[in-house]
Amino acid sequence: PVLQALEQHDSVAYLIGPEGGWSPEEEALFDERSQNSNRVQAVSLGSLVLRAETAAAAATAASVLYNDMR
């Protein structure tokens, strides 16, 4: 459903969190932006903690797979 919602946009940016996670202030900012805009959407890659390189590859792979399946 989240990737489906991205279809209406020409481009997508993935914000991969830093080692140790986002700060509470950053999370609050993202939450605020996602509530006030249809252009920001928080997405989780699951409960695992991934390295930045792995998270970027997983997000890209999920997007490519979704686009190939539609």
Local confidence band at 57 (pLDDT 50, 70, 90 cut-offs): very high
* Rounded Cα–Cα distance for residues 29 and 31 (Å): 5
What pTM did the predictor assign? 0.64
Q: How far is CA 50 from CA 33, 46, 54, in A?
A: 24, 9, 6
Residue 25: predicted pLDDT: 96
* Rounded Cα–Cα distance for residues 22 and 49 (Å): 12
* Rounded Cα–Cα distance for residues 39 and 45 (Å): 19
Q: Which two tokens stand for residue 39?
A: 């252009």
CA torsion angle 55 61 65 66 (round to 10) = 40
